[in-house]
Homo-oligomer: A and B are copies of this chain.
Amino acid sequence: MPLGFPSPVKQASIDDLDRRSRRRRQTIDEILDVAHELMAEQGVAALSLSAVARRMGMQPPSLYQYFPSKMAIYDAMFGRGAQAVLDVRRAAIARKAKADPLTRMRAGATAMCRWAIANPVYSQLLFWRTVPGFEPSTEAFAPAVETVAELRTLLQAAVDAGQLDPDAASDDGVALSTSLIAGLLSQQLANQPDVTFDRGRFTRLLPTVLDLFVEHYRPGRNS
């Protein structure tokens, strides 16, 4: 390229790259938002790329600039949902930072449960995995692993504070607590999908179920 001539090709500045990648992220987010909408309307497993493109005013092939396949969209949704659960739970626990471990555990469980009922599409993806051919990638699954790890940590804190028996922080304790909550969610979403958390016949039982857990692992109780 001869010196003294400004390049006819526009130089890509840092700002341009920022703008471009921000634009790209926006499009990706919009795709996921629209996919979520459609899943809510037609069923999670009924997602179609054509429908997504139609609603976005795009042509279907354009979607392949952002996701290499339909399953990649499901995977991104899974990751998004798992991250949201992690965030929601952390936020609820942070709000009770000064409270005892059991209070924080209850707050985390309640917030997560409330979010799950308000977001049935994500719940179905995360907790049931009923989309034919879809399995989440390790990356998308990571926040879910972290959520369970943090649950275990909190249970251990309750044990250390003398609020729970040491068994509560075992594999069984973790499995039991997740199962108790999954049961309420499962029944609520299957039988009263359009009822709010507060009014649900099943989710209403959350405090009771948490009591059951705490009582079961009451320290000194030879279970």
Q: List the interface of chain A (C-beta within 8 A of B).
A: 42-46, 124, 127-133, 171-172, 175-176, 178-187, 190, 201-202, 205, 208-209, 211-213, 215-216
Closest to A213 in B: B212
Residue numbers in B under 8 Å from A127 (CB-CB): 186, 190
28 contacts between A and B (CB under 8 A): A43-B130, A43-B133, A44-B132, A45-B45, A45-B46, A45-B130, A46-B132, A124-B128, A127-B186, A128-B130, A130-B130, A171-B201, A175-B205, A176-B205, A176-B208, A179-B187, A180-B180, A180-B183, A182-B182, A182-B183, A182-B186, A183-B183, A183-B184, A183-B186, A208-B216, A211-B216, A212-B216, A215-B215
Residue numbers in B under 8 Å from A175 (CB-CB): 187, 201-202, 205
Residue numbers in B under 8 Å from A209 (CB-CB): 176, 179
| Number of identical monomers bound together in the oligomeric complex | 2
Are A131 and B45 also in contact (CB < 8 A) when A184-B183, A212-B216 are? yes
**By the criterion CB–CB under 8 Å, are B128 and A205 in contact?**
no
**By the criterion CB–CB under 8 Å, are A130 and B186 in contact?**
no
Residue numbers in B under 8 Å from A185 (CB-CB): 186
Residue numbers in B under 8 Å from A133 (CB-CB): 42-43, 46
Closest to A216 in B: B212
A172 to B: closest C-beta gap in Å: 7
Apart from A128-B186, A183-B183, 9 more pairs, CB < 8 Å: A42-B133, A45-B45, A128-B128, A179-B205, A180-B180, A180-B183, A182-B183, A183-B186, A215-B215
Closest to A177 in B: B183
A195 to B: closest C-beta gap in Å: 13
